[in-house]
Structures are given as structure tokens and as C-alpha cells.
Structure 1
Amino acid sequence: MQRLLLLAIFISHLAFGQQEKSSSSDNYIYPDSSWQSETNVAKNGWNNESLNKLKLYIIDSTNATGVVVIQSGKILFDYGDTKETSYIASCRKSILSMLYGPFVESGEIDLSTTIERLHIEDVGGLLPEEKKATIKDLLTARSGVYHAASNEGDASAMAPKRGRVKPGEFWLYNNWDFNVAGYILEQRTGKTIYQLIDSMFAKPLKMQDWNINEQRKTGDSTRSKYLAYHIWFSTRDMARIGYLMLRNGKWKDEQIIPADWVKRTTSVVSPYRKAVEEGTAYYHFGYGYLWWIWDGPYNKGAYQNAYSATGAYGQFITVLPKLDLVIAFKTKYDYGRQTSTDLYLKFLDKLIAAREK
């Protein structure tokens, strides 16, 4: 009997220990009204001198206006005016992907729905084959619809002739897809993208610099009636968006984006090697659901399971789960500045090299 009692006590202690371990794994640091700064960078293996040199690299070799690097919920490194808001270009698309998550999970949006069923038409009309494209095809840039977009800044110059490619068959970075995906989200939810950002992200994440009145759509409606939903964020609020993704859609005790959706959208749908074969590749990235994915052979070491939002002129949000790291990098184009993707990737390499082996 005594042996049974001891066994029962042991099992209860074991269960308690496992429970404690499980709950402590969720005990992440989150910012409140402002980010905390890491005062001892060496604690997590970073070299302070190397980080200082990184700041000189930003000044000498890039045109960045704001940089925030978050390590495990605290600011590891920052540079420039991180509170200033500016246009984040195509990073808007990755944010749209995030907004879709709760509505897909609830069933309010069915990704297999065709644009024909949604009565999507455009200037000059769409082809019967194009109307078979689904919402999923739009979110993965595989619609096969090569109608002109209302705004420039995509790879439409590489597009096959309209009607030659079936929906889902070919990947092409195409603003028509992204703008229509934004329109559909607004139609299905009854709210603007900016209202959704305000309620789903800005308020629960306590974004410091978000201003809904600063947001506006642009585009040439004579080319396409679906305008681009441009977004103005600060660098430190871009970091909050990245940190939400790093934490699998959870912010403190609230699951804002379904974890399954975060995983799904940041997994490769269009592999890098296939894009190279088809002549549509962008650097060494594969593509998921509006996120650029570090794909083989580049998804090694610190870049394992990494993904980025990228935007013209030098706007980037990168998540490196392997290092528990988020990088928000801003180049304010209003100043006539821009930072190339080449330079940003060099910056990332130098950042990672600043970590002690």
C-alpha cells in the first residue's frame, strides 16, 4: 500500500511538472504601450561591438530610415526614427493574408469559391477561363488572370497571353490578384481593410503609431476598378505585426490569427526552383499565401522556416523563428530614398553574423 501511495505521489508530481513546463513555454514577453529594450545583448549570444558596426553599415550602405530588431519580445537593436509612419508598399499584401485567417477558420470565407460565383468583373471583361480562379488562387498569386491592375509594381510584364494558363497552374506576382483579394475580403466582411486592421491588430496589439485616417487606396480605375489598399505604418508597429506572426498569431492570451493559418500561409506553395524554371523567380524566395518564404536551398541555419513581407523602395518584415527574431526595416520613399533587396539581404546576413557562435 505504501508503495502504491509513493507511486501516486510521484505521478502527481510528474504531471504537475509537465503542466508547469507546458504553461511556461507560453510565457512569452509582449510589449504593452511600448517595447522593452534588451539591456544585456550578450545574454542571448549577441556581440555588442558587431551590432554597433551593423549600425554603421546601415548608415554607410543603405538608405534605411528606421530599423527595429526584436529578440524574444524585446528590442535587441534599433536605428533611425522608428515612430514615423510611411508607405509600406507591398508589405500590405502579407498583412491582408493575416486578416483573412479568422474568416477562413470560421467558414465565412471559403477559399475554393470562384471569382465567377462572386460576380467579379473588370474593365473590358474577364475571359470564361479566368473566372474559374478561386480565392485561394488569388492569395497564392496563381489565378491565371492577367488583366491589367490599377497600379504598377508587379511582374505582369512576364505574364503569358491571357487565356493560355489555367487558374492554379502558374505562379506570377500579379497586383490584380492582390487587389481583388482585398476587395473580396471587404465584401465578405462588410468592413474596409483599414477597419479590420484597426479592430484586429491596432487595438489588441496596442500599435503605437497607427492612424486609420492616414490610410487610403490608390490606382487608375480606367485600367481596373479594383484599387490598391495602401497602408502607412511605423517601423515599430511593423515589428508588432511580425511578432504576432512569430508567436503563431497569439498576442498575450488572445489567439488573434489561427495558428494553423499562420503555418499554412508561411509554407511554400510555389517553390523557388520552379519559379526559376518558369522565369518568374524573385531572389531566392518561394511563395506562400502573400508571404515570401525562404526556400531550398536557402532555408538553412538561421533562415530555417523564415519568411518575409517585402515592399518596394526598401520595406521589409522578416520573421526568423530559429533565432526567435523579428526584423522590421523601413525606407521612407517620401524622402526620395530606397534600399534594394540586395542590400537588405546583406544587412540580414550581417545581423546574423553578429551573434556569437
Structure 2
Amino acid sequence: MPRIKHKVLIWVACLCTLILVVLVYLIQTGGRDRSRESQPVRFLDITRIGAADSQYLGWDPNGLDEVFGYLATLSSDTLVIVTKGQTVASFGDLKTPYRTHPIRKAFLSALVGQHIGPNSGQIRLDARLQDLGIDDTPQSLTHMQKQATVKHLLKSTSGINHPAAAGGGFVNDTNLRLGVEQNKPGTVWAYNNWDYNALTTIFEERTGWTIAEGFQIGIARPTLMKDFTLNSVSYISEPELSQHKAAAFRMSAGDLIKFGQLYLDNGQMNNQQIIPSSWIDRITTDFTKTGRDDLRWGHGYLWWIPNPETGLPTGSFWAWGLGNQAIFVIPEWETVIVHQSDTTEFLNRFMPMIEEGQEAEAAIEQLVLSCVKRDNRKSEYCIEHRFTTRREFNTLISLIIHARI
């Protein structure tokens, strides 16, 4: 049993390292080694409505041709565009759950939003960590850090720079923004997994539910999700860093669409208010600018806000995860868009390389660049499972924007 536990911890550590190295690599390269011309074209089994119906719902059929033509050069596993509750176009198996990676934060935000209030079993936005008995081990929080509130955690402005489980690829950016000194809560924004893991602990302690139970009872059942089960949630625990665990999700595209549609419909379904509409309004009215000028221009209540100059309408927001998992909610277009890439094969190749002693950065570079080589481009891995770069994903979203009439 100790050997098994040790191996699991190695895999968790490797996964966190992978996320860090991938993001750093892609940010530095911008995906410069990828182009539409350099990749073979896959056959995609696409489901689409007729041209007249597409135009009626605000989509240019020729523009959608370009979207899916480009998608055929990527390794995406699902893409779904739903407008006014009608599926305009979709590709992939919409019933297969994939790792959502950091999209988990949007689910956590929904759960907290459902339980905001002053009563027993509820969560006060102004409750301080000190009031809630939240601390950490092996490194304790300082008195100033314990003054951070639930709202600070939700807005990523706690200012707490503390090691976290599933720290991911934003560790360097978090350290740069927060520094090594204490920060007064509410004064510094940083994408900070410690905040989100502490929120997980607060939710479970205050409600008495696990994250899986809360999501199943509060969201999956009332929205009629078909593929979510209690086993869809697992925990990443790194007690040598922090006592607070990260709750990871596996979700199907079909269920992600229902989640996004819930937000598009102001939290209502079948005349039932599932998430308070005021909670959803907070995302786009009480967000913090991140200093970026792209799709992650702002951040509010664990959702990203795109820069209006990207072409997405004001009021849009989205959730994003490793492998370019994404849920876009675009109220002005009455549209929800979901994109997924299965990272399993990528991880299956990366982990053994690390276990054999290869440096993480060298391993990731080898895997990413291997698919640039002409002899490898037509391999099953490079066609179906390679990692989609930041530039490719941005190009895909740009084509979707331009397909809008």
C-alpha cells in the first residue's frame, strides 16, 4: 500500500508540473510551431442544422465551414455551438466525460453562490477565514491573511501566497503578483489555487456536503444532466503543501452545455431558480482586470472575462482549463459554446518520461515538437491526441467570432 500511495503522489506531482511547463512553454512560443498547413486534416462527423436555420440564429454557414475546416486540423474532441437552445453545430461524442482541469472553479463558484446567506449551512461573503476557523498546515496563515473573506477568495484577491494542492501552471505568475511579503486582503489580484481549495473546504464544512454531493443535488439533477455521477469528482491532495484539497471534475460536453445554458438563462430552468440571477450578474459587474489584453482580460467570481476587442460582445464570460477546455456564455448572442480536448493520451506519454528521469521541460518540448516533424504528422497520436496550442485555440475562437452574422 505505501508503494501505491507513493506512486499516486508522483503522478499528482507530475501532473502539476506538466500544467506548469505546458503553460510556460505555450506562453513563450505562442504556438509558433503550429499552423493549419502543417497538420493533416481529420474527417469530422459534424452535425449541423440547415443553412437557412443557421442564418436565422445569426450564423453564417460559410463561416461555420471555416470553423470546422480549421477544427479538422486540430486534435479537439468536442465542439458544440448552441444558440437559443438549439444546437447549431456539434462535433464529437457529447456523452463522454473528460477532465475539465481548471474549469472546476466555475463549478465551485456556482455551488458557493447557491449557499450564500447568514444562516446555518450557508456561507457569508463577508466571513473572514478567522471567523470560519480556516488555517493551514504545515505552514500556518498569518493574522493578516486570516482577515481575508470568502468574497476575497471568490475574486482572487485574498493576497495569500501559500503552497497549494494542484498549484498548476500559474504558480510563477502567482508568485510574481503576490511576492513574498504579506498583502492586505483585497489589494492584489492573482489567479491563486490556494484560494479555490480553501473555498472547497469552506463549502464542505459549512454545508455538510461533499463537492460531488452538492453538485449532484444542486445542479446536475435540476438541470437534467445525463452523464454526471458522484464518481465524476475526485480530489487532488498534497498534504506536504497544504491541508486544503482540490476537487477535480470529469464532465461530458452535453452536461457542460447544460451548465452554460443555466448561466445564459439567468440561473433558471423549468421555472426553478437554481442559481441566483444576482450571483450571475456579479461575474461581469464585479470583476478585476488581470493586466492581459486577450480572452483572459478580466476575472470575476472564478470566470474569465474576454477583452471586448477580441470581438466577443460585452457581457460575455467563459471558463477555461488545461488542454483548452472551455465553456463560453455569450448572452448577447443567446449562445453557449463548449470545446474539449481529451488530455489522457498526452498524459500517458508524459508521465512515463518523467518516471524514467527525464526533465519535465525537455519531455514536454519533445512531445509538442514531435508532431512538427513531417514523418510524425500523420501518426494517430499527432492527429488525434496532440496538445492544442494557445495560438491554435485563439485562431479557432476568432473563426467562431467571424462566423457570427
* Same fold, judged at TM 0.5 (above): yes
User: Which secondary structure state, in structure 1, belongs to the residue aligned with residue 285 of structure 2?
Assistant: coil
User: What letter corresponds to residue 204 of structure 2 in structure 1?
Assistant: E
In the alignment, the residues of structure 2 paired with residue 327 and residue 73 of structure 1 have an alpha-carbon distance, to the nearest angstrom, of 11
2:192 matches 1:178: no
Match of 1:335 in 2: 345
2:298 matches 1:298: no
Deviation of 1:148 after TM superposition, in Å, equals: 0.2
Query: 244, 248, 255: which is aligned to 2:262?
Result: 244
Match of 2:96 in 1: 84
Match of 2:182 in 1: 164
The equivalences for 1:155-304 within 5 A come to 155-158=170-173, 159=175, 160-272=178-290, 275=291, 284-295=296-307, 297-298=308-309, 302-304=312-314
User: Which secondary structure state, in structure 2, belongs to the residue aligned with residue 198 of structure 1?
Assistant: helix
Contact kept? 1:154, 1:175, Cα under 8 Å: no
The alignment's TM-score, normalised by the length of structure 1, stands at 0.82
Contact kept? 2:295, 2:305, Cα under 8 Å: no
In the alignment, the residues of structure 2 paired with residue 248 and residue 105 of structure 1 have an alpha-carbon distance, to the nearest angstrom, of 19
Query: 143, 147, 158: which is aligned to 1:128?
Result: 143
Structure with bigger helix share is 2
User: What letter corresponds to residue 321 of structure 1 in structure 2?
Assistant: P
In the alignment, the residues of structure 2 paired with residue 75 and residue 283 of structure 1 have an alpha-carbon distance, to the nearest angstrom, of 24
Match of 1:24 in 2: none
Query: 126, 151, 164: which is aligned to 1:112?
Result: 126
User: What letter corresponds to residue 69 of structure 1 in structure 2?
Assistant: I
In the alignment, the residues of structure 1 paired with residue 116 and residue 98 of structure 2 have an alpha-carbon distance, to the nearest angstrom, of 30
Query: 318, 322, 346: which is aligned to 1:308?
Result: 318
Query: 144, 149, 159: which is aligned to 1:144?
Result: 159
In the alignment, the residues of structure 2 paired with residue 303 and residue 262 of structure 1 have an alpha-carbon distance, to the nearest angstrom, of 17
Query: 65, 75, 78: which is aligned to 2:77?
Result: 65
User: Which secondary structure state, in structure 2, belongs to the residue aligned with residue 116 of structure 1?
Assistant: helix
Contact kept? 1:319, 1:325, Cα under 8 Å: yes
Deviation of 1:354 after TM superposition, in Å, equals: 1.7
User: 1:331-355: per-residue Cα shift (whole Å, max 9, x none)?
Assistant: 1100224333433232222112223
User: Which secondary structure state, in structure 2, belongs to the residue aligned with residue 204 of structure 1?
Assistant: coil
Deviation of 1:155 after TM superposition, in Å, equals: 2.5
User: 1:80-128: per-residue Cα shift (whole Å, max 9, x none)?
Assistant: 2221101100100011111112211575211111111111121221112
In the alignment, the residues of structure 2 paired with residue 219 and residue 162 of structure 1 have an alpha-carbon distance, to the nearest angstrom, of 24
Q: Which runs of 5+ in 2 are unaligned?
A: 1-46, 347-385
User: 1:160-211: per-residue Cα shift (whole Å, max 9, x none)?
Assistant: 3344311111000010001111110111110011111101111111112112
Match of 2:358 in 1: none
The alignment's TM-score, normalised by the length of structure 2, stands at 0.73
Contact kept? 1:37, 1:74, Cα under 8 Å: no
Contact kept? 2:145, 2:182, Cα under 8 Å: no
User: Which secondary structure state, in structure 1, belongs to the residue aligned with residue 251 of structure 2?
Assistant: strand
Contact kept? 1:179, 1:228, Cα under 8 Å: yes
Deviation of 1:288 after TM superposition, in Å, equals: 0.6
Q: Which runs of 5+ in 1 are unaligned?
A: 1-35
In the alignment, the residues of structure 2 paired with residue 98 and residue 331 of structure 1 have an alpha-carbon distance, to the nearest angstrom, of 23
In the alignment, the residues of structure 2 paired with residue 344 and residue 105 of structure 1 have an alpha-carbon distance, to the nearest angstrom, of 39
User: What letter corresponds to residue 399 of structure 2 in structure 1?
Assistant: K
* Larger Rg computed on CA atoms: 1
In the alignment, the residues of structure 1 paired with residue 143 and residue 117 of structure 2 have an alpha-carbon distance, to the nearest angstrom, of 29
Contact kept? 2:295, 2:306, Cα under 8 Å: no
User: 1:303-345: per-residue Cα shift (whole Å, max 9, x none)?
Assistant: 2111010111111001111111100110110022433343323
Contact kept? 1:248, 1:262, Cα under 8 Å: yes
In the alignment, the residues of structure 2 paired with residue 282 and residue 51 of structure 1 have an alpha-carbon distance, to the nearest angstrom, of 23
